[in-house]
Amino acid sequence: MPPIAHVRTPDARFDGLPGYPWAPRYTDALPALAGLRLHYLDEGPRDAAVTWLCLHGNPAWSYLYRRMVPAFLAAGHRVVAPDLPGFGRSDKPLDVAQHRFGWHRQVLLQFVEHLDLQRVNLAVQDWGGLLGLTLPHEAPGRYRALLVMNTVLATAREPLPSGFLQWRTMCRDRPDFSIARLFARGNPHLSDAECAAYDAPFPGPAYRAATRAFPEMVPEHEGAEGVAESRRAEAFWRDEWAGLSMMAIGAQDPVFTPARMEPLRAGIRRCPPPLLLADGGHFVQEHGEEIAQHALQRLGQWTA
């Protein structure tokens, strides 16, 4: 595979980010990356009874999980949180067309295999869910529990929500919108420095191919890339999933409302009623301390 033209965010952009003290780790060993460097957090004991695999969405990065990581580490667990290519401290392809459902999924599958993750509690939100929910049926023995937040399976069985279509239109019209401002609007409890941390990976327009690409990647019709794997995942979660599950929903999310999330919850075998965060928005992990405590109670101690 030929090298992928890309840019790399200067390390100085990530100096002193509030609430994010962990050392960066990188790999360029995944075949799908074709030499790109992928960043990830990997904290806690490698032989922990539980490994949390935390997957972010667009336009976030692993910084989104900073309120949850300390609780998981305090419980003696391991936490692995990659930045998808194009986001966070990972390399950023210059070509929008590089960002495809299948490519990002393959990167994540290879990443899990590369680290040989076992006893995984999968935590997903937004694109972390669209992609991440399609991983466990490939290797069910690796996964023991699921925490699902404000996301959907991309089966293309229903029209895309109007709120998402409005978001996609905004991204087309204003491709270099302020991500810090987006987080500030939905999370008034955040400091200016925390909001600015979401702009840190993107010092200029050349770094924003992923944020332009992802709204267009959501499958809308049968035959679109990602639909077949999402429908396989749908059957897996409904008929084969043997682990524990919980759902957390930000009640202020204009797209993934509790009503919109209910079919997904009902389609996950033995998933109980959701934890509803009254003040939570789309990026519900910004209320992550509460979610993490509930997740540890419901999912943290169970063993197969």
Where residue 48 sits, what CATH number does that domain have?
A: 3.40.50.1820
Strands 51-55 and 120-125 turn out to be parallel
- Give the model confidence (pLDDT) of 161-196 as tens digits: 999 999 999 999 999 999 999 999 999 999 999 999
Residue type, 187: N
Selected catalytic residue, list 39, 42, 253, 287? 253
| 1 within some domain | no
pLDDT of residue 304: 40
176 is catalytic: no
Report the domain count for the chain: 1
Establish if 239 belongs to a structural domain.
yes
The verdict on residue 304 lying in a domain is: no
Provide the pLDDT for residue 2: 82
Active site annotation includes 56: no
pLDDT in tens, 231-272: 999 999 999 999 999 999 999 999 999 999 999 999 999 999
- Is the pLDDT at 297 greater than 70? The verdict is yes
Measured distance CA(293)–CA(78) in Å, rounded: 15
Give tens-digit pLDDT for 52-110.
999 999 999 999 999 999 999 999 999 999 999 999 999 999 999 999 999 999 999 99
- pTM to 2 decimals? 0.97
**Residue of 6, 39, 99, 282 with catalytic role:** 282
Q: Decide if 107 is inside a domain.
A: yes
Per the residue annotation, which of 42, 83, 91, 126 is the catalytic one?
Answer: 126
Task: Tell me if residue 6 is catalytic.
Answer: no
- Domain housing 199: 6-299
